């Protein structure tokens, strides 16, 4: 339990992370920040989640952006 105490992603689903980022940045800006096809060509939450769950480096970039952007959410 103490291992998770300082983890800002604990209890936050990837879908929630992606949804908040899209609401804040929009698909165009998100695609500029993290240049992956699922954000730049016919983007959707569903297709992006499928890609991010299979691609660890992209998921890490999304999680890092979420952590650095958390002050803008809520």
- pLDDT tens digits for range 7-62: 888 888 999 999 999 999 999 999 999 999 999 999 999 999 999 999 999 999 99
Please report which confidence band the pLDDT of residue 68 belongs to, taking 50, 70 and 90 as the band edges: very high
49 touches 21 (CB < 8 A): no
pLDDT at 4: 65
| Residue 3 pLDDT greater than 70, yes or no | no
| Residue 2 pLDDT greater than 70, yes or no | no
Domain 13-72 has CATH 1.10.10.10: no
- In three-state secondary structure terms, 24 is helix
pTM of the model: 0.87
33-60: b (≥16 Cβ within 10 Å) or e? ebebebbeeebeeeebbeebeeeeebbe
What's the token pair of residue 49?
Answer: 């989640």
Q: CA nearest 22: which of 54, 6, 72?
A: 72
């Amino acid at each position: 339990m103490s291992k998770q105490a300082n983890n800002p992603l604990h209890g936050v689903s990837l879908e929630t992370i992606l949804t908040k980022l899209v609401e804040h940045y929009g698909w165009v800006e998100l695609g500029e920040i993290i240049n992956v096809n699922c954000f730049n060509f016919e983007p959707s939450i569903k297709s992006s989640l499928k890609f991010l769950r299979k691609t660890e480096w992209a998921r890490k970039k999304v999680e890092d952006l979420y952590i650095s952007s958390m002050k803008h959410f809520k």
